[in-house]
Structure formats: C-alpha cells, structure tokens
Amino acid sequence: MAPSKLFIGRKIRELREANKATQAVFAERLGISTSYLNQIENNQRAISASVLLSLAEKFRVDLSAFSGSDSDRLLSALS
C-alpha cells in the first residue's frame, strides 16, 4: 500500500499566525521556499516528513498536534 500524503494546511497556517510570522519568515525558518509553504497551507501539496520534523523542532510542537484523530496517516508520512 502506498503511503498516505499528509495535508494539514490549516494547522500549519494557524501555527504560523500564532507565531505572528509572514509566510516569507516562516518559510525561511523552515528552510523551504515561500511558494512551497503557500502550497502546503492551501493543501495543494502534502507536507514532507522533513518539513514536519523541522516544524516540530524549530517551533517546539508535538507532532501529534498535526495528526488529530488520524495518527496512522502521520506515521505513514514519517515513514
């Protein structure tokens, strides 16, 4: 079975706004382009495992905050 893609754009946007960061600043801290962050926030692209782990590390967020009730999909995205 192919791994599930993780689309958590709303949660990423909420985290960015809670940190009072623009997309440009937030993307720079994550080491990604602003356009990629925009695509993630608008659920046009799934978030990669490396970006997800970077979010957890740089913003001290528990990864379970992104999974909600779908922890299997989160684990699959990290595999």
Domains and CATH numbers, the chain: 9-78 (1.10.260.40)
* Nearest CA among 24, 22, 33, 32 for reference residue 52: 32
Does 56 score more than 70 pLDDT? yes
User: Is the alpha carbon torsion for 50, 54, 55, 60 positive or negative?
Assistant: positive
Provide the pLDDT for residue 63.
84
Does 14 score more than 80 pLDDT? yes
Query: Which pLDDT band, with edges at 50, 70 and 90, does 59 fall under?
Result: very high
Radius of gyration of the chain (CA): 12
Does 32 score more than 90 pLDDT? yes
Does 3 score more than 80 pLDDT? no
- Region 6-33 average pLDDT: 96
Contact by Cβ (8 Å): 45, 39? yes
Farthest-apart Cα atoms in the chain, separation: 39
Residues in CB range of 30: below 8 A, 6 or more apart: 37, 51, 54, 55, 58
